[in-house]
């Protein structure tokens, strides 16, 4: 039987581009994005209602002014402005939520032209083939400094070790369908790490390889401090394994403490100790074991509470027989 989603029509595509203090970049990059949009339209890949949605993330330079000018000049450009700077992840979320009622699919990318635009058409092709999430994956990290490459790759490995599902070398360059955006809306968490949420949402997905280029102009807004912050957000929002580790550590220390107690009693009976030593060691060993186990137990409950308060959906239905969009009401 033919799948309903194999017959997709060319989507209304929205390119969601977060912009923070990008006055030097936008005049160069937006015409390039528009050209790409035109090209995809010409190839019959997207609908003519497709747009570029620029999200000004509370810039302090002329970014918003430029966005307004572009929107006036070209109806394919739309802008929204956040009331203040809230960070890259929230800017993307704002753009995706704004676009979800208007677009069939959304591609998020850096507005600085770093994410190779050639990959967009491949992403749309994958969408037309029935994929709901298309992850842009970096082909190599040649442009990065040795330090950045090492920390980034180490981070992906650590995430895997901690049981958090992420796509290796994928950041925020991706296509998602409207159906996925509607599900994303149910993820109400404030500690936002989008690249970890999409694998949780599920649906048919694939990857597209692309080359990461140098910035067109301006400077990165991701200094080491922010990168570490994002990494910590990623780990803590997806995994409670660090809390389990404390519990395991507590158990290990308790076992060692038992050995410590046996050893101190043995030394006592050998008369090899000064008065008070054995009792002090016993108390220290016993209490430190008890304390760590107690913290571990608290951690287990804290981890459960943390996951509960997120109120993530417990199930997501991707399709129904008979092509129905909604279940019974
Ligand atoms: N950005 C944003 N808000 C911020 C920081 C960055 O909207 O607080 C945007 C920025 O304009 C760019 C994208 O997020 O389009 C990625 O930032 P950047 O290019 O500085 O990071 P890098 O590519 O160097 O990691
Ligand atoms: Mg960038």
pLDDT value, residue 204: 96
* Residue 223 Cβ contacting ligand 1 at under 6 Å: no
pLDDT value, residue 329: 64
How many A from CA of 315 to the centre of ligand 2?
34
More confident residue, 286 or 17: 17
Residue nearest to atom 24 of ligand 1 (CA): 220
* Residue 20 Cβ contacting ligand 1 at under 6 Å: yes
Tokens 């910590």 correspond to 232
Q: Hey, what are 81's tokens?
A: 């402005």
Q: Which one of the ligands is nearest to 109 CA?
A: 1
pLDDT at 326 over 80: no
Q: What is the pLDDT of residues 9-45, one digit of tens each?
A: 999 999 999 999 999 999 999 999 999 999 999 999 9
Q: Hey, what are 119's tokens?
A: 């990959």
pLDDT value, residue 1: 42
Q: What is the pLDDT of residues 115-152, one digit of tens each?
A: 999 999 999 999 999 999 999 999 987 777 888 888 88
Ligand 1 atom at minimum distance from 55 CA: 7
Q: What is the pLDDT of residues 215-273, one digit of tens each?
A: 999 899 888 888 888 888 888 888 888 888 888 888 888 888 888 889 888 988 988 88
Query: Of all residues in the chain, what percent carry a pLDDT higher than 70?
Result: 96
Contacts with 268 (C-beta within 8 Å, 6 or more apart), sequence order? 277, 278
How many A from CA of 30 to the centre of ligand 2?
14
pLDDT at 5 over 70: no
Closest Cα to residue 162, out of 227, 245, 233, 253? 245
pLDDT at 2 over 50: no
Whole-prediction pTM: 0.86
Residue nearest to atom 22 of ligand 1 (CA): 220
| 3-state DSSP helix/strand/coil % of the chain, to nearest 5 | 50, 15, 35
* Residue 110 Cβ contacting ligand 1 at under 6 Å: yes
Q: Which one of the ligands is nearest to 95 CA?
A: 1
More confident residue, 215 or 107: 107
pLDDT value, residue 257: 86
Cα(91)–Cα(10) distance, integer angstroms: 26
Q: Which residues are in the CB-under-5-Å shell of ion ligand 2? A: 110, 112, 114
pLDDT value, residue 321: 66
Pick from 177-186, 234-243, 279-288 the range whose average pLDDT is largest. Answer: 177-186
Can you tell me the mean pLDDT for 53-57?
Answer: 96
């Amino acid at each position: 039987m033919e799948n309903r989603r194999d017959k997709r029509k060319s989507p209304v595509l929205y390119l969601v581009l977060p912009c923070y203090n990008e006055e030097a970049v936008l005049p160069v990059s937006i015409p390039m994005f528009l050209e790409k949009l035109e090209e995809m339209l010409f190839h019959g890949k997207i609908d003519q209602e497709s747009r570029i949605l620029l999200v000004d993330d509370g810039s302090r330079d002329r970014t918003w002014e430029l966005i307004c000018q572009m929107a006036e000049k070209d109806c394919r450009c739309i802008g929204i402005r956040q009331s203040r700077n809230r960070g890259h992840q929230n800017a993307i979320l704002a753009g995706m939520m704004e676009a979800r009622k208007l677009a069939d699919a959304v591609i998020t990318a850096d507005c600085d032209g770093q994410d190779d635009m050639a990959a967009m058409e491949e992403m749309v092709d994958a969408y037309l083939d029935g994929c709901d999430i298309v992850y842009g994956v970096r082909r190599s990290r040649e442009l990065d400094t040795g330090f950045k490459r090492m920390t980034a790759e180490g981070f992906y490995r650590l995430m895997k070790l901690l049981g958090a599902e992420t796509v290796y070398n994928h950041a925020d360059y991706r296509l998602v369908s409207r159906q996925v955006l509607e599900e994303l809306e149910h993820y109400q968490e404030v500690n936002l790490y989008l690249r970890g949420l999409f694998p949780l949402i599920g649906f048919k997905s694939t990857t597209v390889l692309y080359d990461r280029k140098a910035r067109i102009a301006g400077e990165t807004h991701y200094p080491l401090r922010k990168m570490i912050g994002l990494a910590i957000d990623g780990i803590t929002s997806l995994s409670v394994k660090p809390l389990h580790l404390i519990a395991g550590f507590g158990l290990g220390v308790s076992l060692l403490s038992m050995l410590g107690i046996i050893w101190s009693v043995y030394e006592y009976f050998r008369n090899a100790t000064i008065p008070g030593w054995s009792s002090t060691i016993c108390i220290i060993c016993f209490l430190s074991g008890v304390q760590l186990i107690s913290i571990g137990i608290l951690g287990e409950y804290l981890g459960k509470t943390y996951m509960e308060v997120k109120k993530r959906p417990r199930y997501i239905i991707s399709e129904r027989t008979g092509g129905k969009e909604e279940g019974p009401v």
